[in-house]
Amino acid sequence: MLKLLGNVIVLLLLYGALVVDPETSETARTPQNHQFLAERIGLYGILSLAAGTLIITGGIDLSMGSTVALTSVVLRKLLMEYDWPPGAAIPAVLLLGAAIGLCHGLLVTVARIQAFVVTLCGLFVYRSIARWLTGDQTVGLGNRFEGLKEFFNGYIFHVPVHFLIFLGLLALLGVFLHLSVYGRYFYAIGSNEKAARYCGIPTTRYKISAYVLCSTLTAFFAVLNMLKMNSVQPSTTGNFFELYGIAAAVMGGCSLRGGEGNVFGIFLGTCIIYILPNYVFFKGVPSSLEGAIFGLALLVGAFADEMLRRYYGYRSG
């Protein structure tokens, strides 16, 4: 709870500085910039949810960015080369994402290979396949499917559709993780997998489910991102996306040890991660230093979390 409160305070201070700081550009306070931020938070927040849900079970996926590249390429091939309608192509891509997660989950639980190794291999494999399928060329959707692009990239009552989708996913995952017994199984597995198994929880099944959920959400992000960008460059699309997703989840209170975190914290972490560079940009800080500021902010957050953990551990001891 204290971690959540700290993130709320940080977010309020950061947002307040963005809109009040006289040294920032007037553009920072315009409705257009707020819509840009909401759209960015909504779109990339899907990856934060994917990473955070998996981290709660004690897992990790380093291949999310490469999965985005591969599923984007497959979506483009189905739509443009095989003339599949979007109503068939999009579910097929989501099933591909689920299959990737199933493969990860089986290798981690049944073959007992470390998740870091499994998903690191996936990082190289999926991007290589994407590059091979396109001849390492940038491909796109051209002028087709304009109605679909206009809807998903549009606004409802001036609120970006991407942000509304993100809020919907937050609500669904919130109900699953915090109000259902199956969500509590995720926390139990992340806290102590052996104890959860002794309590009769089918840990293998639920760990696999977590990987399937993570990759399916990643594929869903890839669909929305493809409709927004209108093209995919297999050698670069998705680069570092998994790191930003993991960073937002960790910033929001998810512990890489597993068993900790909640969807509201993931929402706060995502907002902080994407408002911070926006504020830095309008402050006139060179873009070359953006990564350093982002990394330091994440380090400070992790340090504060560890100090709080030690303090309460000392008090309870």
Instruction: Please indicate, yes or no, if residue 307 is contained in any of the structural domains.
Output: no
Quick count: other Cβ atoms within 10 Å of Cβ 212? Answer: 20
Q: Which residue, among 209, 208, 217, has the nearest Cα to 93 in the 3D structure?
A: 217
Instruction: Please indicate, yes or no, if residue 261 is contained in any of the structural domains.
Output: yes
pLDDT band of residue 205 (cuts 50, 70, 90) is very high
Q: Taking residues 166-173, report their average pLDDT.
A: 97
What is residue 21's three-state secondary structure? coil
- Compute φ and ψ for 257, nearest 5 degrees: -75, -20
Partners of residue 140 on adjacent β-strands: 231
Per residue in 269-288, pLDDT (tens digit) is: 999 999 988 888 888 788 77
Q: How many CA atoms lie within 13 A of 28 on its CB side?
A: 22
Is a pLDDT exceeding 80 seen at residue 70? yes
What is residue 61's three-state secondary structure? coil
The pTM (predicted TM-score) of the whole model is 0.94
Contact yes or no for 40/274 (Cβ under 8 A): yes
What is the domain extent for residue 107? 32-279
Per residue in 217-244, pLDDT (tens digit) is: 999 999 999 999 999 999 999 998 999 9
Per residue in 14-33, pLDDT (tens digit) is: 888 888 877 777 888 889 99
DSSP string, 155-209: EETTEEHHHHHHHHHHHHHHHHHHHSHHHHHHHHHHH-HHHHHHTT--HHHHHHH
> Domain total for the chain?
1
Contact yes or no for 69/223 (Cβ under 8 A): no
Instruction: Please indicate, yes or no, if residue 6 is contained in any of the structural domains.
Output: no
Contact yes or no for 257/57 (Cβ under 8 A): no
Instruction: Please indicate, yes or no, if residue 38 is contained in any of the structural domains.
Output: yes
- Residue linked to tokens 């109503």: 87
Tell me how far apart the alpha carbons of residues 197 and 105 are, in angstroms, rounded to a whole number: 17
Tell me how far apart the alpha carbons of residues 188 and 182 are, in angstroms, rounded to a whole number: 10
Instruction: Please indicate, yes or no, if residue 118 is contained in any of the structural domains.
Output: yes
Quick count: other Cβ atoms within 10 Å of Cβ 95? Answer: 12
Per residue in 42-52, pLDDT (tens digit) is: 999 999 999 99
Torsion of CA 227, 230, 236, 241, to 10 degrees: -20
Interior/surface letters 244-279, b for 16+ CB within 10 angstroms, e for the rest: bbbbbbbbbbbbeebbbbbbbbbbbbbbbbbbbbbb
Instruction: Please indicate, yes or no, if residue 161 is contained in any of the structural domains.
Output: yes
Per cent of the chain over pLDDT 70 is: 96
pLDDT band of residue 2 (cuts 50, 70, 90) is low
CATH code at 177? 1.10.3470
107 contacts: CB under 8 Å, gap ≥ 6? 113, 118
Is a pLDDT exceeding 70 seen at residue 120? yes
Tell me how far apart the alpha carbons of residues 293 and 138 are, in angstroms, rounded to a whole number: 31
Is a pLDDT exceeding 80 seen at residue 81? yes
Position 79 scores a pLDDT of: 96
Partners of residue 59 on adjacent β-strands: none
Instruction: Please indicate, yes or no, if residue 298 is contained in any of the structural domains.
Output: no
Instruction: Please indicate, yes or no, if residue 39 is contained in any of the structural domains.
Output: yes
DSSP string, 258-287: SS---HHHHHHHHHHHHHHHHHHHHTT--G
